[in-house]
Structure 1
Amino acid sequence: MSIPRNPGGRFPAPCAGPNRREALKAGALTLGGLSLPGLFQAQSAAASPVRTTSGRAKACILVFAWGGPSQLETLDLKPDAPDEIRGDFRPIATSVPGIQISEHFPMLAERMDKMAIIRSMSHDDPAHLSSVHHQQTGHLAPRPKSDADGPSPLDWPHLGSLVARVQPRSGALPSSVIMPWTVAHPAAPGGKAPGQHGGWLGKSFDPFLLPGNPNAEGFRVEGLNLPEGLGPDRVRSRRDLLSSVDRGAVEPPSWTKTQARAFDALLSAEARGAFQIDREDPITRDRYGRHIHGQCMLMARRLVEAGVPLVTVNWHDDRKNFWDTHLDNFNHLKNRLMPPTDRGLSALLDDLAARGMLDETLVVWVGEFGRNPRITRNNAGREHWPRCYSALLAGGGVQGGMVYGSSDRWAAYPASDPVSPADLAATILFALGIDPGTEVIDPIGRPLPINRGTPVTDLLA
């Protein structure tokens, strides 16, 4: 039995980004050593007028299923396919007649009326690292189809960095946060995936990294609590001293952007409060699940409630190959991956709705690709498959209770309405009120559109 070839689909045209010499020049122009207010001032000064849309979302929570979840076990089951395609899981009815998803997403099934499924996500890159760049920036990586390259100044900026660039904000909180780590793969030569930082926009546009496990007893964001005997005046004095020592350096060794953010956050009750997850009612915390993924989802809600426009929750460093289920696919999904996702994502939707925030907060769940329709029988695994996979969207003006696009009989290729990573990124920008065609000026003076995809406006009410 062979898997049919893709009947066609639209993919973003490669963009001629800066070459290596230009990227190095850009690195020399980055604004290292800024305090957080200075960072926002620099971003504001660099911003060009943003073209707006009718999108009504004020924030986006991007939940990234790092490793590539199987479409056939999550959102696009094929119960009538042959055994070597179908797998072990059953589809179950949802709250919307005619839409079925996996039996191991029972809580999400009850909330299908709040969600939309894309079953026709598609691209042609089977490599983890370059596909992360594509999914999290909306642009092809400098070297597509490769796990060899880690982050570099050649990268396109992360979606959160682009939002910060075209919609600069003031205040003590950053425009974009990534938690609980920037994803990396131990089997990939490049290690850390590209596309998770400011790229050629410079380090001043890096998302703020919030590392650690919010479920851990006594969890604190490093640097947000003043040591005993150290008052705000002494903090300001130390900040000024470090700034003066490092002033003039291209990449100051001690006065890094992360330290600058931490110093400013130390002086901000707003910032400290947003990150203090232990202020939440224990009952609320229980609803999300007392595990790192659930508590990251709760932290994401706290941050968008405090005004952060884009929060990325990456699947954590579980030391068990994440969603990359080459081996024992069904047991990993059933016992390790799907239950915390089901609980955490369901609690997030309920919590946002109860607070009147769901209509203004776009929630997106997606991985970098899907899994091969044919099961590898000797180890019950599925290999990488970018040609067809699924995404889940809710809130932020998304029409609940709908499926966009379709896959063929084996979930191998889109049968209708293919959606590329660029299109999904364009949809996020559009929902946030940002025209994807908005141009920014790169470090050598070229105007570049922040996205070349097509928003899937049929998803939006």
Structure 2
Amino acid sequence: MNTQPNAKSSVTNSESTHSLTRRQMLGSMGCGFGLLSAAAMASRQANAESVASSALNPLRERSPHFPARAKRVIFVFMQGGPSHVDTFDYKPLLAQQHGEMHTFDDARTLAKSKTVTKHRVFQSPWKFKRYGQSGRYVSELFPHIAQHVDDLCFVKGMHTDGVAHGPSTLFLHTGSINLIRPSVGSWMLYGLGTENENLPGFVTIQPSMGNGGPRNYGNAFLPAHFQGTAVGRAGTSAADATIGNLSNSRISHAQQQQQFELLRSLNATQMEHRRDDNRSGIEKLESVLHSYELAWRMQQNAPDTLDLSDEPQHVLDLYGINDKRTEDFGRQCLMARRLAESGVRYIQVNYGDNTNNPRWDQHSNLPKHADHAFATDKPVAGLLADLKQRGLLEDTLVWWGGEFGRTPYAQSNGTGRDHNPYGFTIFLAGGGVKRGFEYGATDEFGHHAISGKVHMHDWHATLLHLMGLDHTALTFMHDGRPFRLTDVHGEVIHDLISTSAFPG
């Protein structure tokens, strides 16, 4: 039997099923090239729209690098360096060896005396007690914060660069001691934008003019629209803290609207004529124009956000605003909650002043710590409770701490403590950190971090990570090289981060 035709037919059917003719292949490739061209055009269009969107609102909300644990930060800054061994880092050995002379490895002392010097061990004037189911030690200085230990994450192995207030404060805020660098809040705003285009994305409440001053909330080489907005200043009453010139009572709202629209038209014309100018000049002009437009939107929104008069009495009482000893800082903390609730990305609450001796800087009068603790304890506890009851603590990271700690010995055999950047404590709450947890430790005197050491670069890296930002990828080109908050340093401390489900 001649089976050749059938065999040929079989081969032909197989080729038609699994192969392409030259005509078919060219036809398919043509469509493919068309799709590639369309994709490229769509990409260019998307990029153009992205650039246009950026030009219209450079503070628009941006997607994080990966799913974030927190959406916003409230940094409660204790200027001057509260003593960790008198607040949250209990060291029984200080009481056992109180008054004894010991040699402490201390570069600050060595720089002053040019020789190794013995110091007198100084016990804490305050008693410590365990609190909560987690059994964390807290001194009697903070009875209200102590009630929240099961929501707190204590980082006890902190250490930093710089032994004086100025350098250490700058390092805490910018990651650099002696160079002008963007502040943490500016980096955060640059990376994520704001949740509310009608308010600044970065606000600092009553900042100090000393020890870095505006550099602590400055944008440095980042575009100017990423700088922090100051509300009030240290040394003035929080009741008067506001953003200047938010209202104009001389002319009607309709007239103000007309003026604004005219200025917007003139500015647009000026921008159109300057499109060929150098990019740096354009960016500066854009930042100025964006600041004008944000200022206009703020006039309609910020006054209500900063006005505490609509808060019920029980909320005012929660923050200690019914007591003049706690009222000032209580107002700051309540403002921080309202700003967080309104979508401000990074909020700093400052407990400081404008003198050469910051508030927690007790070199010869350690008992003064009690006054500062009393002024801040109830307001901070009120902030934690208020955020929690409103469901905001899950995605708001609260960070409490100073630029460094204090020594376990009495300075000059007196009744105070010197600066200690070698080991100190901060605490965190909400925003994806572990609850009722402590990480790291100082030595038995509380002088040096010895385990679970967290450098300030590491903390900055972890802070950005909690916000969904990779600290190695959050960069900005300046002077021919990429810069980042952590420079070439920093490791994310994953042990601080909760493994529970992400907030919705």
Question: Could you state the TM-score of these two structures normalised by the residue count of structure 2?
Answer: 0.72
- Larger helix proportion of the pair: 2
Given that 1:79 and 1:90 are in contact with CA atoms closer than 8 Å, whether structure 2 keeps it comes out as: no
Q: 2:303 aligns with which of 272, 282, 304?
A: 272
Given that 1:67 and 1:128 are in contact with CA atoms closer than 8 Å, whether structure 2 keeps it comes out as: yes
CA distance in 2, matches of 1:113, 1:441: 39
Q: Is 1:349 aligned to 2:384, yes or no?
A: yes
Percentage identity across aligned positions?
A: 28
Q: Is 1:361 aligned to 2:396, yes or no?
A: yes
Q: In angstroms, what is the RMSD of aligned CA positions?
A: 3.0
Q: 2:77 aligns with which of 41, 64, 72?
A: 64
Q: 1:242 to 1:326 in 2, by over 3 A?
A: farther
Q: 2:247 maps to what in 1?
A: 225
What's the CA shift for 1:447?
A: 2.8
Unaligned runs of 5+ in 2: 1-52, 99-120, 275-280, 322-326, 499-504
Q: 2:57 aligns with which of 19, 41, 62?
A: 41
Q: 2:127 aligns with which of 84, 90, 115?
A: 90
What's the CA shift for 1:216?
A: 5.4
The count of aligned residue pairs is 399
Given that 2:78 and 2:352 are in contact with CA atoms closer than 8 Å, whether structure 1 keeps it comes out as: no
Pair member with larger Rg: 2
What's the CA shift for 1:102?
A: 0.9
What's the CA shift for 1:305?
A: 0.5
CA distance in 1, matches of 2:428, 2:456: 14
Aligned to 1:106, the other structure's residue is in SS state: coil
Given that 1:121 and 1:414 are in contact with CA atoms closer than 8 Å, whether structure 2 keeps it comes out as: yes
Q: 2:218 maps to what in 1?
A: 197
Q: 1:165 aligns with which of 171, 174, 190?
A: 190
Q: 1:229 to 1:101 in 2, by over 3 A?
A: same
Q: 1:396 maps to what in 2?
A: 431
Counterparts of residues 120-199 of structure 1 (less than 5 Å): 120-137=157-174, 139-141=175-177, 143=178, 154-169=179-194, 171-185=197-211, 192=213, 194-199=215-220
Unaligned runs of 5+ in 1: 1-36, 144-153, 186-190
Q: Is 1:109 aligned to 2:109, yes or no?
A: no
Q: Is 1:411 aligned to 2:446, yes or no?
A: yes
CA distance in 1, matches of 2:180, 2:383: 31
Q: 2:474 maps to what in 1?
A: 439
CA distance in 2, matches of 1:219, 1:448: 34
Given that 2:151 and 2:436 are in contact with CA atoms closer than 8 Å, whether structure 1 keeps it comes out as: yes
Q: 1:237 maps to what in 2?
A: 259
Given that 2:197 and 2:294 are in contact with CA atoms closer than 8 Å, whether structure 1 keeps it comes out as: no
What's the CA shift for 1:259?
A: 6.3
Higher relative contact order (CA 8 A, sep 6+): 1
Counterparts of residues 17-56 of structure 1 (less than 5 Å): 41-42=57-58, 51-52=65-66, 54-56=67-69
Q: 1:21 maps to what in 2?
A: none
Q: 1:13 maps to what in 2?
A: none
1:322-362 per-residue CA deviation (whole Å, 9 max, x = no partner) reads: 111113112x1112x11122111110110011001111110
Aligned to 2:316, the other structure's residue is in SS state: helix
CA distance in 2, matches of 1:78, 1:39: 55
CA distance in 1, matches of 2:214, 2:409: 27
CA distance in 2, matches of 1:65, 1:341: 9
Aligned to 1:442, the other structure's residue is in SS state: strand
What's the CA shift for 1:236?
A: 5.1
Q: 1:240 to 1:443 in 2, by over 3 A?
A: farther
Q: 1:286 maps to what in 2?
A: 317
1:59-104 per-residue CA deviation (whole Å, 9 max, x = no partner) reads: 1101111111111111112133222232311111211344211111
CA distance in 1, matches of 2:258, 2:359: 41
Counterparts of residues 279-358 of structure 1 (less than 5 Å): 279-290=310-321, 291-317=327-353, 319=355, 321-330=358-367, 332-335=368-371, 337-358=372-393
Q: 2:492 aligns with which of 451, 455, 458?
A: 455
Letter of the 1:297 counterpart:
C
Counterparts of residues 250-261 of structure 1 (less than 5 Å): 261=294
Given that 2:183 and 2:219 are in contact with CA atoms closer than 8 Å, whether structure 1 keeps it comes out as: yes
CA distance in 1, matches of 2:297, 2:150: 42
Aligned to 2:153, the other structure's residue is in SS state: strand
Q: 1:206 maps to what in 2?
A: 227
Q: 1:361 to 1:278 in 2, by over 3 A?
A: same
Q: 1:427 to 1:243 in 2, by over 3 A?
A: farther
